[in-house]
């Protein structure tokens, strides 16, 4: 059975995605930094499903290692899912260049570096899927988190171009734009319950959208509408707003 | 983000603590806040609610499974629904399960839940070989019936007030089918209902749906459903798709719509006398889970479940009196669940005693709590007690009379400093 490679496998969404894909018979490569801490997840999946699960040490900001990393995968993955992401406080990013740089490196440059490699291979094979977990925050820059938001905007634009390029090769590119997800990352935020989704539900949403061959997934769906409205507020009004 | 329990009442703001590693949790406990663990919020009332809650559901890895004995070691946040989905195809099922599978192992232990087989198998604690518990100071104790037995007896049924259950070893039961052979017995009154329960008491699973709107000599008429697993080797289990109730129903909808629908569904449809059906796990054990968010049919104000148990000796008389009172009041609960229970265990705050228990849903509305206070008096008169995991309003006095081990529980909490660290709205109300 085919392999799915999950990049950034330590996130809450990745954990649930790994379970969903394993449940549906896919073998897994779980890639992350300090990957030892993934042992519990591997054990969990092996009790749940009879699939092969392998842990791979991978650092998304060590661009120069990416080719070797990909070459070292014995069976090339049918699907690649990127859930890696870094979110620092906007105010901190404004003051500390390191945090801004890390945001751009993790959320954009690092992902592009590995996906360039992956997509060349998939294009050649005329088969496969790529899922990028971006964010609604990339749909419009807001003062509350535009450093993070702009890195996600760049990522979303990359995915849209990639989808365009790979269309002929029948490689699916799915852009996922989550709104609020109930994860470690958001635990201190006061999230409105109706707009918030649990990691296990988002994972199922993503799996279903991928299986159906979708291009863009807002999850929860209500965010498509919210972002449609936010995108259409004229700039001369938007700049005065605090949202 | 705020979390609420199943009854959607009360609504309170809370801050939730999530943890992935024990050390993170330990650090949180060192802070001066007061906490209460929260599983999946399927308790109806305020037992899992406070300003700071420890959200245990994401702590949900399977740690080990022994295929030869059926012993499962898992973290406490895992849901029964997942366990069923993973292990039924392998030929294993939960030994004890409540009427919903959407609860966590931690919640199952903390409420010492019971199922349709209590008269034979007892409470959830019977299938718990061991669990680890994080105490108020962050120390972790392994507890079983023989090791730290006091903590075991206090924690099973202890409503999260003894600490955080981290992981547990539970034994599963071997099955050879995903189907249950169900026998449905339609009765005309409470006397017939009791007789039927006794007659079928050797069947492993039994439960009765009572029509609470029935009056006079029809009081206590029911559909009794009993059953056991088939043996056809079909383990091809898949959870069903669920219906969804997307918004809170306006409050008038309850009476007009659902009372009639349910009565029609559950009484008209069933043939008179005794009939046999082959049903699947979801329909037999978890009929209510088929509809997501069904709690919303009660409207924005929320609802509560009133569940009490009476000793066998006083059950008939007590139930007759209570059912009369309810049917006279004309209040919401059209559908109630009646069950026969076996021997009680010696956990300090476990609910079941040998006898009959009735559970009814009520929409929160004016006059309701007065009615329930009245019912409390009848329950006490017949030496009964109230189930904490469903409760949101019981008084300290009523609670204490039903739970003779309460002092032991209080002392243990003091001894371990739990009383200063773990509190729920409920524990504050009833003084535990
Ligand atoms: C439709 C329906 C049917 C039901 N049928 C039955 C039934 O037949 N029999 C029955 O007994 N019950 C029944 N219940 C009640 C339900 O089984 C219990 O309330 C159960 O405890 C809910 O578990 P939860 O994981 O949702 O926990 P919550 O509701 O979140 O919490 C319940 C209690 O467990 C504590 N708790 C949760 N996790 C932990 C942990 N890790 N460590 C320590 N304490 C913890 C909380 O503090 C709280 O006191 C039913 C509920 C519903 C909604």
Q: What pLDDT digit, counting tens, does each position of B301-348 carry?
A: 888 999 999 999 999 999 999 999 988 887 756 678 999 999 999 999
| Band (B212; pLDDT cuts 50, 70, 90) | confident
> How do residues B90-124 score in pLDDT, each as one tens digit?
999 999 999 999 999 999 999 999 999 999 999 99
Q: What value does the mean pLDDT of chain B take?
A: 92
Chain segment B34-56, per-residue pLDDT in tens: 999 999 999 999 999 999 999 99
- Pairwise pLDDT comparison (B419 vs A180), residue with the higher score: B419
Q: Among B14, B61, B92, which would you mutate to test the A interface (most chain A Cβ atoms within 10 Å of its Cβ)?
A: B61
Q: Across the interface, do B18 and A184 touch by the CB < 8 Å criterion?
A: yes
In the predicted structure, residue A185 carries a pLDDT above the cut 90: no
Bridge partners of B171, per DSSP, are B71
Structure tokens at B282: 């979801």
What pLDDT was estimated at residue B249?
A: 62
Tens digits of residue pLDDT in A205-239:
999 999 999 999 999 888 888 898 898 899 999 98
Least confidently predicted of B206-210, B228-232, B251-255: B251-255
The lowest-confidence range among A112-116, A187-191, B127-131 is: A187-191
Q: Whose CA is nearest to atom 9 of ligand 1?
A: B98
**pLDDT, mean over chain A:** 94
Interface subset of A 175-194, CB within 8 angstroms of B? 182, 184, 187, 189-193
Report CA dihedral (A71, A161, A138, A90) to the nearest 10 degrees.
50
Backbone angles phi, psi at B339, to 5 degrees: -140, 150
Q: What is the mean pLDDT of residues A126-133?
A: 98
Range 72-101 of B in CB contact (< 8 A) with A: 86
Across the interface, do A44 and B62 touch by the CB < 8 Å criterion? Answer: yes
Say how many Å lie between the CA of residue B98 and the centre of ligand 1.
Answer: 9
B260 has a pLDDT exceeding 60: no
Give the model confidence (pLDDT) of A53-62 as tens digits: 999 999 999 9
pLDDT tops 90 at residue A194: no
Going from the Cα of B244 to the center of ligand 1, the distance in angstroms, rounded, reads 21
CATH class held by domain A3-238 = alpha beta
Nearest to B1 among A43, A193, A199 (CB): A193
pLDDT per position as a tens digit, B59-82: 999 999 999 999 999 999 999 999
A180 backbone φψ class: left, alpha, beta (φ>0; ψ -120 to 50): beta
Distance CA B214, CA B216 (A): 7
Cα–Cα distance for residue pair A19/A203, rounded to 1 Å: 9
- The string over B3-29, giving b where at least 16 C-beta atoms fall within 10 Å of a residue's C-beta and e elsewhere, is bbbbbbbeeeebbbbbbbebeebbebb
Helix (H), strand (E) at residue A231: helix A222-232
pLDDT in tens, A15-60: 999 999 999 999 999 999 999 999 999 999 999 999 999 999 999 9
Indicate yes or no: CB of A47 within 8 angstroms of CB of B2: no
Best residue in A182, A204, A208, A222 for a mutation probing chain B (most B CBs within 10 Å): A182
- pLDDT reported for residue B285: 96
Q: What is the pLDDT of residue B295?
A: 81
Q: Which residue has the higher pLDDT, B250 or A158?
A: A158
User: What pTM value is reported for the model?
Assistant: 0.93
Query: Measured between beta carbons, which residues in chain B are less than 8 angstroms from residue A12?
Result: 58
Whether A106 and chain B come into contact, CB under 8 Å, resolves to: no
B27 touches chain A (CB under 8 A): no
Nearest to B159 by CA among B415, B379, B403: B403
Do residues B184 and B223 lie in contact, with contact meaning Cβ atoms separated by under 8 Å?
yes
pLDDT confidence of residue A216: 97
CA–centroid distance, residue B111 to ligand 1 (Å):
6
Q: Does B54 touch chain A (CB under 8 A)?
A: no
A222 touches B: beta carbon within 8 Å: no
d(CA B86, nearest CA chain A) in Å: 6
Question: Distance (Å) from the C-alpha of residue B37 to the closest C-alpha of chain A?
Answer: 16
pLDDT per residue over B266-279, tens digit each? 666 677 889 999 99
Return the minimum-mean-pLDDT range out of B163-177, B241-255, B376-390: B241-255
- Structural tokens at position B218: 């029809």
Q: From atom 51 of ligand 1, which residue's Cα is the shortest distance away?
A: B42
B110 lines ligand 1 (CB under 6 A): yes
Reply yes or no on whether the pLDDT at B256 is more than 60.
Answer: no
Instruction: Supply the residue whose CA is at minimum distance from atom 48 of ligand 1.
Output: B48
Residue A181's pLDDT band, with cuts at 50, 70 and 90, is: confident
Q: Is B205 helix (H, G, I), strand (E, B) or coil?
A: strand
CA of B105 to the centre of ligand 1 (A): 9
Tokens for A61, please give them: 């900001």
Percent of chain B with pLDDT over 70: 92
pLDDT of residue B298: 78
The DSSP output letter for B309 is E
Complex confidence, ipTM: 0.89
Q: Who among B1, B17, B20 is closest to A190 (CB)?
A: B1
| Over residues B128-149, mean pLDDT | 98
Mutation site for B-interface testing, chosen from A11, A187, A194 by largest number of B Cβ within 10 Å:
A187
Cβ atoms of B243 and B288 within 8 Å: the answer is: no
Which two tokens mark B405? 């081990």
């Amino acid at each position: 059975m085919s392999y799915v490679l999950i990049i950034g496998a330590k996130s809450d969404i990745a954990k649930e995605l790994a379970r969903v894909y394993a449940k549906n018979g896919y073998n897994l490569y779980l890639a992350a930094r300090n990957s030892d801490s993934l042992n519990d997840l591997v054990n969990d999946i092996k009790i749940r499903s009879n699939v092969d699960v392998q842990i791979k040490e991978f650092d998304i900001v060590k661009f120069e290692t990416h080719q070797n990393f990909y070459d070292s995968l014995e069976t090339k993955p049918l699907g690649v899912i990127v859930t890696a992401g870094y979110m620092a406080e906007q105010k901190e990013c404004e003051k500390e260049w390191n945090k801004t740089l890390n945001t751009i490196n993790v959320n954009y440059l690092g992902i592009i570096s590995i996906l360039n490699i992956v997509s060349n291979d998939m294009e050649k094979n005329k088969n496969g899927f790529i899922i990028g977990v971006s964010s609604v925050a990339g749909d419009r820059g807001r003062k509350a988190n535009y450093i993070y938001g702009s890195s996600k905007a760049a990522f979303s634009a990359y995915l849209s171009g990639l989808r365009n390029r790979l269309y002929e090769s029948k490689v699916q590119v799915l852009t996922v734009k989550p709104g609020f997800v109930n994860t470690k990352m958001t635990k201190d935020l006061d999230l409105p319950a109706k707009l918030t989704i649990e990691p296990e539900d988002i994972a199922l949403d993503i799996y279903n959208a991928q299986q159906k061959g979708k291009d863009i997934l807002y999850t929860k769906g209500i965010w498509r509408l919210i972002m449609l409205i936010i995108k259409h507020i004229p700039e001369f009004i938007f700049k005065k707003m605090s949202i | 983000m705020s979390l609420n329990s199943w009854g959607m009442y009360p609504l309170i703001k809370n801050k939730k603590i999530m943890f992935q590693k024990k050390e993170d949790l330990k650090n949180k406990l060192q802070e001066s806040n007061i906490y209460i663990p929260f599983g999946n919020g399927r308790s109806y009332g305020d037992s899992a609610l406070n300003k700071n809650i420890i959200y245990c559901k994401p702590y949900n890895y399977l740690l080990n499974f022994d295929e030869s004995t059926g012993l499962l070691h898992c973290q406490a946040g895992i849901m029964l629904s997942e366990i069923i989905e993973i292990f039924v195809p392998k030929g294993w099922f939960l030994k004890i399960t409540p009427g919903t599978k959407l609860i966590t192992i931690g919640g199952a232990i903390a409420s010492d839940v019971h199922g349709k087989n209590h008269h034979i198998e007892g409470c959830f604690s019977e299938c718990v070989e061991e669990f680890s518990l994080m105490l108020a100071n962050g120390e972790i104790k392994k507890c079983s019936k023989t090791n730290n037995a006091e903590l075991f007896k206090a924690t099973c049924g202890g409503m999260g007030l003894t600490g955080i259950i981290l992981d547990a070893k539970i034994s599963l039961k071997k099955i050879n089918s995903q189907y249950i052979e169900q026998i449905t017995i339609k009765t005309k009154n409470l006397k017939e209902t009791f007789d039927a329960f006794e007659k079928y008491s050797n069947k492993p699973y039994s439960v009765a749906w009572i029509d609470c709107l029935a009056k006079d000599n029809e009081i206590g008429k029911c559909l009794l459903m009993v059953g056991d697993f088939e043996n056809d080797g079909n383990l091809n289990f898949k959870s069903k798709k669920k219906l969804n109730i997307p918004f809170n129903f306006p409050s008038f909808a309850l009476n007009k719509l659902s009372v009639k629908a349910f009565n029609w569904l559950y009484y008209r449809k069933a043939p008179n006398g005794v009939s046999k059906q082959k049903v699947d796990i979801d329909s037999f054990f978890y009929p209510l889970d088929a509809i997501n968010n069904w709690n919303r049919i009660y409207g924005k104000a929320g609802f509560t479940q009133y569940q009490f148990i009476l000793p066998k000796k006083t059950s008939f008389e007590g139930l007759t009196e209570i059912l009369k009172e309810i049917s006279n009041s004309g209040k919401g609960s059209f559908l109630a669940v009646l069950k026969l229970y076996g021997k009680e265990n010696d956990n300090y705050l476990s609910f079941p005693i040998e006898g009959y228990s009735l559970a009814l849903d009520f929409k929160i509305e004016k006059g309701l709590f007065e009615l329930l206070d009245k019912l409390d008096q009848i329950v006490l008169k017949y030496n009964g007690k109230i189930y904490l995991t469903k409760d949101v309003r019981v008084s300290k006095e009523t609670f204490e009379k039903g739970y003779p081990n309460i002092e032991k529980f209080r002392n243990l909490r003091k001894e371990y400093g739990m009383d200063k660290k773990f509190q729920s709205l409920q524990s504050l109300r009833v003084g535990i």
